[in-house]
Amino acid sequence: MDRQARVELSTAAVPAAEAFAYWREMICETFVQLRAAPIAAGAFSGRIEHVPVGELELSTVAAGGQVVRRTPGLIARSGDEYLLASIQLCGRGRVEQDGRVAELGAGDMAFYDSTRPYTLNFADEFRQLVVQVPRRGLAVRDTRALTARTLGRGGPGQVVPAFFTALADAARTSPQTSVSLLPHALGLLSAAASFAASAEPGPDPARALVRERASAIIRRHLADPGLDVDLVAAACRVSRRTLNRIFAPEGGAAATIRRARLEQAKALLVEHPDRPIATVAVQCGFGSESGFHRAFRAEFGTTPGGARGQ
């Protein structure tokens, strides 16, 4: 499936006897490799509307009851590294991962991570908006504390489902306009992840906004070798000390910048196998190829060339 264009898929395109087999193919093409089984025998119908917004993917799913699993075997056969969030629009759903269960009603959402096994359970007909983003696109290093936790009604995360539902509606009619909202969408998704992990930066909500702004600045300027903690702090109108406190869970602001550069470099090495390593180093803001090699080995335990080979 072309992930860069709006796509509509429906089981109505095939005979009824082939509907669920076709549905399995649909969800694997749209999301990641999955196993699925219907809740009840008999007729099944499902529809997916997929709309990309930059590197963010928004998929509205309407279907009958089913159980969907991401198994260790499927994970081993694919290198997909996505953070996903299901936003329940109609019906009920359940997300299971990392030993937790999130029960979803209309207006609720929950995260899950494609790099570990998970189960999605829908007892009856449902409708969901699934938000999918590469893990490298978010300022979230370890997702184990935030998966399968219900966000939505009555909490600080309640604005997130409403925002992404509106964004999906806008993307259908005005794709170019919606792309301009991408930095805000990624920042809001990172903030929601913090809410889910009960790791908000502090009692002052302004700190969450500073974190979002700083993360967006870092993502936009990774190629600038002059990007450092002082420049990010100045752009956010906070002190260097404040910025380091906000990013303390990640080891500080400098570590966050370095890690973002390295994650981007690792992705480029895999996505563009013919691109010289020196070019990748420059594109990710490293002043020298030797410094890039040292930092890469320290972070990932292998050389850039070794990562590309893997």
Residue 204 clears pLDDT 90, i.e. is over it: no
Using CA atoms, how far apart are residues 104 and 118, in angstroms rounded to an integer? 15
Specify whether the CB–CB gap between 110 and 157 falls below 8 A: no
Q: What is the CATH number of domain 206-309?
A: 1.10.10.60
pLDDT for residue 130:
97
DSSP alpha helices (H): ranges in the chain?
19-30, 72-77, 159-173, 175-179, 182-196, 205-220, 229-236, 240-246, 253-271, 277-283, 289-300, 304-309
Q: Residue 175 in 3-state DSSP? A: helix
What is the third-level CATH fold of 7-196? Jelly Rolls (2.60.120)
The stretch 200-226 carries a mean pLDDT of 76
Residue 116 clears pLDDT 70, i.e. is over it: yes
pLDDT for residue 156:
57
The stretch 83-108 carries a mean pLDDT of 94
Name which residue leads in pLDDT, 136 or 107.
Answer: 107
Confidence of residue 3 (pLDDT cuts 50, 70, 90): low
**For the segment 126-139, what is each residue's pLDDT rounded down to a tens digit?**
999 999 999 887 76
Confidence of residue 200 (pLDDT cuts 50, 70, 90): very low
Residues of the chain with CATH 2.60.120.10: 7-196
Confidence of residue 202 (pLDDT cuts 50, 70, 90): very low
Name which residue leads in pLDDT, 229 or 175.
Answer: 229
Residues of the chain with CATH 1.10.10.60: 206-309
pLDDT for residue 25:
95
